[in-house]
Amino acid sequence: MKLAEIRSEIKKLGNADHAKIMQRFFKTGKGEYGEGDVFVGIKVPVQRQIAKQFRDLRLNEIQQLLNSNIHEERLISLFILVDQYQKSDEIRKEKIYSFYMKNSKRINNWDLVDLSAPKIVGDHLLNRDKKILFKFSRSSNLWERRIAILATYTFIKNGSFEPTLQISNILLNDNYDLIHKAVGWMLREVGKKDIKTLDNFLKERYKKMPRTMLRYAIEKFPEVKRKKYLNGLI
């Protein structure tokens, strides 16, 4: 059974010292955003290689990996899912997208979201109704909110900025630093494509948005303009 094989490979390649570093980096302590997440200590490039070896894993086996409390099992399952999505026809892509969305609460750390949401959710909704993203942006679940904003990365790359701006506006007063960073990052990406659009968005909102969000958003602005934003002089 491939599931047993992949788990054996993950266990074999684990490194206890690296796992301890990752446990701290991904805030797995009590009360932190990654509470309960377990690492075996495999670096991401190696995880990608494992995913390539098991790229034909069935959805029911991917489901079992996603249900795991081991971070690497979940990330590898998402690498496999992204690979399958990109190589599938439209019918299969719809099935994978639906599977992903049903498992949104298992995509429960920032790297899991960032490395999968744009490539599955963003791609699938590029030319479709995006109302599910607005629902997610108002979710009580931190990771669904991050999926909502990160999915728009694909839209930005394709020259569509409005969904990013609308969802950013919804998340403007979010309580989590992880959302502040994600929104700021996506706004910065909008600015790379169209600085005027970003400037217009920020002028009306920058004084009330979290400082981290603003810093990320204006990172590529000319120094003089960036300082004006930071000093409230726009």
pLDDT, tens digit, 9 for 90 and up, residues 180-209: 999 999 999 999 999 999 999 999 999 999
Q: What is the pLDDT of residues 212-227, one digit of tens each?
A: 999 999 999 999 999 9
Residues ≥6 apart with Cβ < 8 Å to 152? 122, 133, 163, 164, 167, 186
pLDDT at 1 over 70: no
pLDDT bucket at 2, cuts 50 / 70 / 90: confident
Alpha-carbon Rg of the chain, whole angstroms?
A: 19
Residues ≥6 apart with Cβ < 8 Å to 44? 75, 111
Q: What is the DSSP letter of 69?
A: S
Stretch 145-174: mean pLDDT, rounded? 98
**Type of residue numbered 55:** R
Residues in the chain: 234
Residues ≥6 apart with Cβ < 8 Å to 84? 55, 92, 96
Look over the chain and give the mean of its residue pLDDT values, rounded to a whole number. 96
Q: What is the pLDDT of residues 118-137, one digit of tens each?
A: 999 999 999 999 999 999 99
Cα 189–Cα 194–Cα 198 angle in degrees, nearest 5: 70
Q: What is the DSSP letter of 54?
A: T
Q: How far apart are the first and last CA of the chain?
A: 61
Q: Both tokens of residue 58?
A: 């069935």
